[in-house]
Amino acid sequence: MKQITCPIASIDWYNEDTRRILLDLPAGEDVTFHAGQYLQMVLPQKKCPFSIASAPHLKGQLELHIRPTPGSEDSAIIEELLDNAREIEIQVPLGDCFLTEKTDNPLILLAASTGITQMKSIVEYLEPEGFDYPVYLYWGVLSDKDLYLAELCQSWADKHENFHFIPVVSEPDTSPDWTGRTGLVGEAALEDIEDVSNATVFVSGGPAMVYATLDAFMARGMPEENMKSDIFSYAPRS
């Protein structure tokens, strides 16, 4: 792990509340990470984790997606920093939930909200060589307006027969024009995929969501070690 200061190359808005931040790596600085790992933004009083959205083979920059959390003091500090700063101090890489090679079995990616960033890095790491086994990307959001990467995700499905993208809206009352899947993202995957006993599953979300998903998949025959999530490391279940 390194602690480095990165100039902010650009900040763009995906939608009304989600930003895409590109950080330049300092000249001569080599940062090696695996698809699925995260970094920590170093604030005056603490450090806040964010998944790296870019693939490992893209050198020179790191991509983050940041959305404010209502009522969070840390989030307010970060938003102010993004509004005014020209550089950001980070620690990188972190996390043991990642891929270093293709899987030789079906891969199920379950993302909640901006957890899609971790899955984007994994997909873009695998995508150049295609998908030998089925890959299922389920993205759960509260409202359809939160599906800020839907076109990109759908483009992977359009290009690769073995790639499947399923967006899921959990609060359809907020999305009157939504005609797609509704409910909880983990439950949607289990409705579609009958046999998960040989699947590798990555989950990005809060502790309650991750552990509920783990229990549900294990009840359907998935070995516990087949599910990967950073939650297991920094919020272990007692």
Q: Which residue is listed with tokens 């990109």?
A: 152
How much is the pLDDT for 28?
Answer: 86
Nearest to 38 by CA among 10, 66, 7: 66
The full set of domain ranges for the chain reads 2-94, 107-234
Question: How does 9-39 read in b/e, with b if 16+ C-beta sit within 10 Å?
Answer: eeeeeeeeebbbbbbebeeeeebebbbbbbb
Q: What is d(CA 114, CA 15) in angstroms, rounded to the nearest whole number?
A: 12
Task: Report the CATH fold assignment for 2-94.
Answer: Elongation Factor Tu (Ef-tu); domain 3 (2.40.30)
How much is the pLDDT for 238?
Answer: 79
Q: For domain 107-234, give the CATH number.
A: 3.40.50.80
How much is the pLDDT for 231?
Answer: 96
In contact, 203 and 233? CB cutoff 8 Å: no
Order of strands, sheet of 107-112, starting from the edge strand that comes earlier in the sequence: 181-182, 163-169, 135-141, 107-112, 200-204, 227-228
Q: Residues in the chain with pLDDT < 70?
A: none
- Does residue 229 sit in helix, strand or coil? coil
